[in-house]
């Protein structure tokens, strides 16, 4: 696929999703960017902002399988991965795949499940495979996890450990809609939800074809250096007790390559790295105790760090 073909394709995907999710072009673009780059996304927002509908609209637009798991304290790893069932007729055990065997998986309120169950998703996200009873099974090549959590309510939750947070390429938030868009949304759902009328416009193979082009997106040495400077600044910052890992640098470059394709470019510009720095880094850093006492948040600290790093000249 040429850069112009990819641009038209991704624009049509975003436009189709926006029939359901109004006025959220940037989060939709970032979600699509993460999928193209082979990453996973943590959607952190208050209830009712359209997180589930966004995941469903994405899956329906690309005509792929979609499954949703409601994470609860009594959810077990086998409820996600699957289990082996004994069949008396054959006298053999047969593996019954769990909901993880899909293309787009919505892990709803992931922080309400126990750490043991949360970690069951770790191998699937990192390796695109699961192991049950000593048997390893490959997942769909386009496997994409969209996990959600409520940042306000913490009673009865199990916060994701830093190692698992690091597995997500980006952390995004939809936020409340603008006044006019919320009124439009309410009017549009007066008879039926627009998700039911949403049409599939492209086959799933489209994403796979775009992914094959991703390694060909050129990254100049100065762009690699800029991404490295952004990540390294989090490790030497006195306001942070945990800086971003080397995986963050890898994810930042890979996401920037995907964003370049979304913009119809064959190369990564520093402006794309700048745009993606917060979504890629904001869940990988932790403010120090003193910074918290001063009322500083990870987002505020990152904003300052990003502004202090010189952007290479010639950015587009």
pLDDT at 151: 83
Q: Which of 153-162, 229-238, 248-257 has the lowest mean pLDDT?
A: 153-162
Q: Indicate which CATH number applies to the domain containing 34.
A: 3.40.50.300
134 Rama sector, left if φ>0, alpha if ψ -120 to 50, beta otherwise: left
Average pLDDT over residues 171-194: 89
Could you say which of 214, 243, 260 is where a domain stops?
Answer: 214
pLDDT score, position 315: 47
**Per-residue pLDDT averaged across 41-63, rounded?**
92
pLDDT > 60? residue 130: yes
Verify that 226 and 189 share a domain, yes or no: no
- Residue pLDDT, tens place only, 202-237: 998 999 999 999 999 999 999 999 999 999 999 999
Please indicate, yes or no, if residue 14 is contained in any of the structural domains.
yes
Q: What is the CATH number of the domain that holds 278?
A: 1.10.8.80
Q: What is the mean pLDDT of the chain?
A: 91
Contacts (Cβ under 8 Å, ≥6 apart) of 285: 234, 240, 242, 243, 244, 298, 301, 302
Give per-residue pLDDT as tens, 169-180. 999 999 898 999
Q: What is the pLDDT of residues 282-294, one digit of tens each?
A: 999 999 999 999 9
Q: Is residue 314 part of a domain?
A: no
Domain co-membership, 138 together with 276: no
Same domain? For 56 and 169 the reply is yes
In which domain, by residue range, is 73 found? 1-214
Per-residue pLDDT averaged across 42-57, rounded? 91
Residue 258: pLDDT band (50, 70, 90) is: very high
- Domain co-membership, 148 together with 284: no
pLDDT over threshold 90, residue 58: yes
pLDDT, residue 20, reads 92
- Structural domain includes residue 107: yes
Number of domains making up the chain: 2
Give kind and range of the element (H or E) at residue 232. helix 221-235
Band of the pLDDT at 153, cuts 50, 70, 90?
Answer: confident
For residue 201, the 8-state DSSP code is -
3-state secondary structure of 135: strand
Residue 316 in domain: no
Asked if residue 71 lies in contact with residue 107, where contact means CB atoms within 8 angstroms, the answer is: yes
Please check whether residues 159 and 287 belong to one and the same domain: no
Is residue 315, in this structure, part of any structural domain at all?
Answer: no
Is pLDDT at 62 greater than 90 in this prediction? yes
> Looking at 181, 214, 247, which one is the last position of a domain?
214
For residues 234 and 118, state if they share a domain: no
Last-in-domain residue among 214, 238, 264:
214
Same domain, 221 and 286: yes
């Amino acid at each position: 696929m040429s850069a112009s073909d990819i641009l038209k394709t991704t624009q049509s995907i975003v436009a189709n999703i926006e029939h359901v999710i109004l006025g959220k072009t940037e989060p939709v673009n970032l979600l699509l960017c993460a999928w193209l780059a082979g990453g996973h996304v943590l959607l952190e927002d208050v209830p009712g902002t359209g997180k589930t509908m966004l995941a469903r609209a994405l899956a329906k637009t690309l005509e792929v399988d979609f499954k949703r798991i409601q994470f609860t304290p009594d959810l077990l790893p086998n409820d996600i991965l699957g289990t082996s069932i004994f069949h008396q007729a054959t006298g053999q055990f047969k593996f019954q795949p769990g909901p993880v065997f899909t293309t787009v998986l919505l892990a709803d309120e992931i922080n309400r499940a126990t750490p043991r169950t949360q970690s069951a998703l770790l191998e699937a996200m990192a390796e695109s495979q699961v192991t049950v009873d000593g048997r390893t099974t490959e997942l769909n090549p386009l496997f994409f996890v969209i996990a959600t959590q409520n940042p306000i309510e913490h009673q009865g939750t199990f916060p994701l450990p830093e190692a698992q947070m690091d597995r997500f390429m980006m952390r995004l938030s939809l936020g409340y809609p603008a006044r006019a868009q919320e009124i439009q949304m309410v009017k549009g759902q007066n008879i039926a939800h627009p998700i039911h009328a949403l049409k599939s416009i492209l086959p799933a193979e489209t994403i796979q074809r775009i992914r094959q082009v991703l390694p060909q997106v050129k990254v100049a040495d100065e762009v690699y250096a800029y991404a490295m400077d952004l990540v390294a600044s989090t490790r030497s910052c006195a306001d942070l007790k945990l800086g971003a890992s080397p995986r963050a640098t890898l994810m930042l470059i890979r996401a920037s390559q995907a964003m370049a394709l979304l913009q119809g470019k064959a190369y990564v510009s520093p402006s794309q790295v700048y745009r993606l720095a917060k979504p890629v880094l904001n869940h990988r850093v932790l403010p120090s105790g003193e910074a918290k006492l001063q009322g500083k948040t990870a987002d505020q600290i990152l904003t300052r760090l990003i502004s202090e790093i010189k952007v290479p000249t010639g950015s587009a």
